[in-house]
Amino acid sequence: MEQQPRYAIGIDVGGTSIKAGVVRFDRAGTVLVEHAQHATAMLGSIEDFLGLVSAQYQAWSATYPTIEAIGIGFPACVQWSAGLVAAPPNIPWWDAPVQFPLRAELSRQLALPVAVDNDANVAALAECKFGVARQWESMLFVTLGTGVGGALIINGQLYRGERGSAGELGHMVIDARAPLSSPAFRTGILERYVGRDAILERARRWCVDYPNSRLARMNQLLDVEAIGEAARDGDEAARGVLEETAEFFGIGLASAVALLGIEHIVVAGGIAGLPELFFDRARATFRQRSLPAIADNVQLVRSSLGATAGVLGAALLALDATSG
């Protein structure tokens, strides 16, 4: 008997948008058959988020009545075994308790199996299954966007740590002399130097010295994608912004790889679409700051799945969980 296709919903929660999709799994391959994107500005509370997920499921279940489960990648520390989401640092609409039982609450409301994990973890699962990392047993997966996240695949298995907090690359301290700020745990961390807000703030500073830069004329339209496009066109300020950002990124990677001993790094997320200039400088800084025995063997590549990694990985997570 021919195996019937299986369907699951994957939801990738980010700081500025929420991506969702219906994914079909069968012998012919894995296909994202429906997708949607929602701006997080429309959300004001965890209840709003629960309502959005419920409405999206109701809309798609009419067309795909055999949807088996929902998987969610959330930018926070997630206790996988209990389905608990800790207060996320880059989600302004989060008004739930410090640890919220997201999996149990959604399962109750939808009467459907739900799986929840860190957003970088689910994207890494997709990269291992369908992307460039299929060829490797171990890798460090990095997400660059509003926040900076990470995931660890070790000997073919996702390593979550004792309480689901492993791989939080963005919270590595790279500037011990940074003035102590509030909250203190975000002082001097990598995310403050290479995340979206850091890049935009750096661009504004560069515009002071380069008032004729294209960036200086953008005002409210300034975003990371526009900086990348200007850098491709040779804008000096834009190139300086990306090179400075890449240097911080390379320093962070040098520290992470020295500890982990992993030789393959995959970069995903919205910022991963920056021009090769960014990656060239990150690689150069990494080689400069790493032990030669380490640097000579490390590969730094982009994700081959692009913006779909989180959705695919969340759906895969959901089906894996229902299959035990």
The residues of the chain that CATH labels 3.30.420.40 are 6-124+308-322, 134-304
Residue ranges in the chain whose pLDDT is less than 70 = 1-2, 324
- Closest Cα to residue 290, out of 256, 266, 264, 243? 256
The CA distances from residue 39 to 49, 52, 313, in Å, are 11, 11, 20
Both tokens of residue 151? 């995931």
Q: What is the pLDDT of residue 2?
A: 56
Burial class (CB in 10 A: 0-12, 13-18, 19+), 234: exposed
What pLDDT digit, counting tens, does each position of 46-96 carry?
A: 999 999 999 999 999 999 999 999 999 999 889 988 999 988 888 989 888
Both tokens of residue 1? 């008997």
- Closest Cα to residue 134, out of 49, 210, 30? 30
Q: What gap in Å lies between CA 74 and CA 85, rounded to an integer?
A: 8
Q: What is the pLDDT of residue 1?
A: 46
Q: What is the pLDDT of residue 274?
A: 93
Instruction: Evaluate whether 131 touches 304 at the Cβ level (below 8 Å).
Output: yes
Domain spanning 134-304 has what CATH number?
A: 3.30.420.40
Dump the DSSP string for 111-155. TS-EEEEEHHHHHHHHHHHHSGGGG-S-EEEEEESSSEEEEEEET
Q: What is the pLDDT of residue 153?
A: 96
Domain spanning 6-124+308-322 has what CATH number?
A: 3.30.420.40
Q: What gap in Å lies between CA 318 and CA 106, rounded to an integer?
A: 13
Q: What is the pLDDT of residue 324?
A: 56
Q: Rounded to an integer, what is the distance from CA 249 to the centroid of its chain?
A: 15
Q: What is the pLDDT of residue 318?
A: 94
Q: What gap in Å lies between CA 114 and CA 140, rounded to an integer?
A: 26
